[in-house]
Structures are given as C-alpha cells and as structure tokens.
Amino acid sequence: MSISVQLSAASLHYAGAARATFSGLNLNLPAKKWTCLLGPSGCGKTSLLRLLAGLIDSSHQQSGEISCSDGLSIDNRISYMAQQDLLLPWLNVLDNVCLKARLLTGKVSAAEQQKARQLLAQLNLSGIEKSLPDQLSGGMRQRGVDGRAVLSTGCRQSLQAAGLSRTSAARSHCAVNHPRPAGGTAPKRPALSV
C-alpha cells in the first residue's frame, strides 16, 4: 500500500540552539513520488527526516502535525537510513539485513531469512549474503542498508539523508527485474519510493 505523508506547521528547536532549525514548515510527500530536499549544510534537511522517522529526542522542542493519507499514525512505518551505512562490521550481509528480528526476538526465523534473501536478490546482492561489510563496495554496502530498512518496516517506503544510494538501489532493481533490451536503456522506474 502506498501512502502520502503531510507535514503541517512543523517546528523544531534543538535545546541550547539560538534559533529554531525550522518553523511553520508545511510539506506534502506524495505517494510513489521522489521528493528531494535541497539546501545548504545545516539548514535542517536531515533533522526533518529524523523528525518524520520519530528520532528527535523529547528534550528538544518540536511541534506540528504529521498525518498519513490512510489515516493511520506514521509511528513505526518509516525507516531512516543515515548518510553513513552503519552496517555492523562483525555481521555478514544477511545478518545485517535481519538485524531487527535478531534484536527483537534474539533469533532470526527461516522465513525471515528467506524474505531477506529475496530482497537481497532484488537489490542485486545475491551470492554475497555471507560477506562481511569490509569486503563490499560502497554501493553494495548501501544497498545492504537499504535492504535492512525495507525488511525492518515490511514496506518499501524508506527515507534517507543522501539520495545517491536510493538511486543505485533503484538502478539495481531495474537491472534485475526489468532487463535492458539489447542496446537499450533500463526503464526509469524507481524500485523504492517515499
């Protein structure tokens, strides 16, 4: 199911900061569309994503309303991928992707591993499930993080601060699920959407 997200009169003021990071912000994030946040360093792009994902500590002043087109709360329905990949270096790719299940239950079921393997195949990461992060390229590492975020939420709606990995994941998905015709180009259809 695809949902759009509406942010109304959002404000964020970090404790100890001289001024608000943003104030009175209204933003519509339409379903199945890419939204790009542009602005200079420090203007609040990452803070906005952290606010949407529920990652702002309660010691900071925040106000406004976040609503979803389906009428349900956004809580636990958004995953956030930081600009750094943050894969755990001692876990292989499959274990990193299944991290939420391991943290919640202490183990990873066979069904969860199968879902992870299918997702890794969609992200063009088949055959490297047992590789450690330091054995992967930067793009492969980021696609592993993309997989973890998707598997953690059970949906393909994921946010991140840097749009580059999303693009590479979408390209990988298109290459796997929508092969290029001989001499042609891959379809311009994103695999993961906000």
pLDDT value at residue 190: 34
In a domain, 89, yes or no: yes
CA–CA dist 155, 1 (Å, integer): 8
Q: Provide the percentage of residues in the chain whose pLDDT is more than 90.
A: 31
Amino acid (one-letter) located at 144: G
Domain span including residue 52 = 5-77
Hey, what amino acid is at 100? K
Question: Could you tell me if residue 135 is inside a domain?
Answer: yes
Q: Determine, yes or no, domain membership for 190.
A: no
Instruction: Classify residue 35: in a domain, yes or no.
Output: yes
In this structure, the answer to whether residues 129 and 112 fall within a common structural domain is yes
Residue 187 lies in a domain: no
The confidence band for 77, taking pLDDT boundaries of 50, 70 and 90, is confident
Please, which pLDDT band fits residue 164 given cuts at 50, 70 and 90? very low
86 and 18 co-located in one domain: no
Report how many domains make up the chain.
2
User: DSSP assignment of 79-99, as one string?
Assistant: EEE-SS----TTS-HHHHHTH
Q: List the one residue out of 64, 56, 58, 60 whose CA is nearest residue 20.
A: 60
Measured between its terminal Cα atoms, the distance across the chain in Å is 12
Q: Choose the final residue of a domain: 19, 49, 77.
A: 77
- The candidate with the shortest Cα–Cα distance to 31, out of 157, 185, 175, 180, is 157
Report the length, in residues, of the chain.
Answer: 194
Judgement on whether residues 170 and 91 belong to the same structural domain of the protein: yes
Residues 68 and 111 placed together within one structural domain of the fold: no
**What pTM, to 2 d.p., does this model score?**
0.50
CATH number of the domain where residue 155 is located: 3.40.50.300
Instruction: Give Cα separations from 166 to 25, 163, 194 (angstroms).
Output: 25, 5, 10
186 inside domain = no
Q: Is residue 193 part of a domain?
A: no
Residue 189 forms part of a structural domain? no
On whether both 108 and 144 belong to a single domain, the answer is yes
Residue 90 shares a structural domain with residue 173:
yes
Task: Please check whether residues 132 and 164 belong to one and the same domain.
Answer: yes
